[in-house]
């Protein structure tokens, strides 16, 4: 049985704008199950239509709004206005930032082009879209911005330096925004998931390598969150008004707590593991099995 308050809040909510892809399709299905009206967004219109079709909802429950998160601010303003006007001008109750890309590359080998692309998609784009949406949300004095960040915003992530930098920027912006709008009806929930099993051997993951996008088989499945479980936790955090929610399996969760509560131990641990973890990630091996990283063994899929 779902939590009753979650059912009530989502069933009675105004539209939720989900910025896909990846976990976003799973989130859309989860929110739809509780009666939410959905505005699905990404730059790929055909994939959005596929997600819409898979939900099996009537047209008055789903709107497709394709746009490029990395486009000019004027285009994001148009997208924000269109979302606010959807469903007869009902406004947006949940703005869910889920777009992003991962990285498997050493910091010293990452090109400036990859740095620009990752920062634009993982940090600057969501910040600019939020800025475009805020006047509408503040004007209605309601709405919750849900940020799907990363545990990489809470601690170093060897082998993913620019990815971590972008997620830390995202955390810094939205945690600050949360304090600035605390006297309004607009709220912010920051979710910090660990690795999520969004790829498989049949559908490898596309990530950024040193100089561009690369395809790698999904690794370390045992240490990754199931997408459905991640969606459930994110939706619960949003519905119950949680300011910040961590969701990860060990060792990521354990190291996160160590880094926060025992920083000297955290530094010592990550300096020891970091170089080998960075090499493992670069080579397409799991970055989440400490014993295999330290022993230099191939990670299980």
Ordered per-residue pLDDT tens for the chain, 301 residues: 223 233 334 444 455 666 666 688 899 999 988 888 999 999 999 999 999 999 999 999 999 999 999 999 999 999 999 999 999 999 999 999 998 999 999 999 999 999 999 999 999 999 999 999 999 999 999 999 999 999 999 999 999 999 999 999 999 999 999 999 999 999 999 999 999 987 544 457 789 999 999 888 767 677 889 999 999 999 999 999 999 999 999 999 999 999 999 999 999 999 999 999 999 988 888 878 766 776 665 443 3
The radius of gyration computed from the CA coordinates of the chain, to the nearest angstrom, equals 19
Report which of 154, 62, 149, 45 is spatially closest to residue 100, judged by C-alpha positions. Answer: 149
pLDDT confidence of residue 284: 84
pLDDT confidence of residue 111: 98
pLDDT confidence of residue 4: 27
Report which of 281, 288, 243, 291 is spatially closest to residue 106, judged by C-alpha positions. Answer: 281
What are the E-state strand segments in 114-153? Answer: 143-148
pTM, whole model, 2 decimals? 0.89
Strand partners, 144: 94, 187
pLDDT confidence of residue 21: 63
Question: Residues 230, 233, 238, 244: is their CA dihedral positive or negative?
Answer: negative
Alpha-carbon distance values, 229 to 23, 29, 175, 292 (Å): 11, 12, 24, 26
Give me the residue label for tokens 């299980």. Answer: 300
Secondary structure class of 187 (helix, strand, coil)? strand
> If you ran DSSP here, which 8-state letter would residue 199 be given?
-
Which residues make Cβ contacts (< 8 Å) with residue 162, sequence separation at least 6? 103, 105, 107, 110, 114, 115, 118, 119, 208
163 is catalytic: yes
> If you ran DSSP here, which 8-state letter would residue 251 be given?
T
Residue range 4-258 forms a domain whose CATH class is alpha beta
Cβ proximity of 283 and 210 under 8 Å: no
Cβ proximity of 99 and 75 under 8 Å: no
Q: CA 293, 295, 297 angle in degrees (round to 5)?
A: 70
pLDDT confidence of residue 20: 63
Q: Which of the residues 30, 94, 163, 171 is marked catalytic?
A: 163
Cβ proximity of 273 and 251 under 8 Å: no
- DSSP secondary structure string for all residues of 73-106: HHHHHHHHHHHHHHHHHT--SEEEE-----B-B-
Secondary structure class of 64 (helix, strand, coil)? strand
């Amino acid at each position: 049985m779902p939590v009753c308050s979650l059912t009530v809040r989502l069933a009675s909510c105004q539209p939720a704008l989900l910025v896909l892809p990846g976990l976003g399709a799973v989130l859309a299905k989860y929110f739809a199950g509780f009666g939410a009206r959905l505005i699905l967004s990404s730059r790929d219109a055909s994939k959005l239509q596929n997600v819409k079709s898979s939900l099996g909802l009537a047209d008055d429950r789903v709107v497709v709004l394709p746009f490029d998160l990395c486009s000019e601010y004027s285009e994001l303003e148009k997208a924000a206005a269109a979302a606010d006007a959807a469903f007869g001008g009902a406004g947006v109750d949940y703005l869910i930032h889920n777009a992003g890309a991962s990285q498997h590359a050493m910091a010293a080998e990452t090109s400036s082009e990859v740095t620009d692309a990752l920062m634009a998609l993982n940090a600057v784009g969501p910040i600019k879209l939020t800025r475009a949406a805020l006047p509408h949300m503040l004007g209605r004095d309601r709405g919750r911005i849900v940020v799907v960040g990363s545990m990489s915003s809470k601690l170093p992530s060897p082998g993913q330096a620019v990815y971590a930098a972008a997620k830390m920027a995202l955390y810094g912006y939205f945690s600050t925004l949360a304090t600035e709008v605390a006297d309004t009806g607009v709220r912010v929930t920051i979710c910090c998931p660990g690795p999520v099993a969004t790829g498989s051997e049949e559908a490898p993951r596309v990530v950024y390598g040193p100089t561009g996008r690369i395809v790698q088989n999904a690794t370390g499945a045992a240490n990754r969150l199931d997408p459905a479980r991640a969606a459930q936790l994110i939706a619960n955090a949003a519905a119950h008004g949680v300011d910040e929610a961590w969701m990860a399996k060990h060792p990521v969760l354990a190291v996160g707590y160590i880094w926060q509560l025992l920083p000297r131990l955290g530094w010592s641990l990550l300096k020891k593991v970091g170089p080998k973890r960075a090499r493992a990630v670069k080579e397409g091996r799991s970055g989440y099995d400490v014993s295999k990283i330290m022993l230099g063994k191939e990670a299980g899929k």
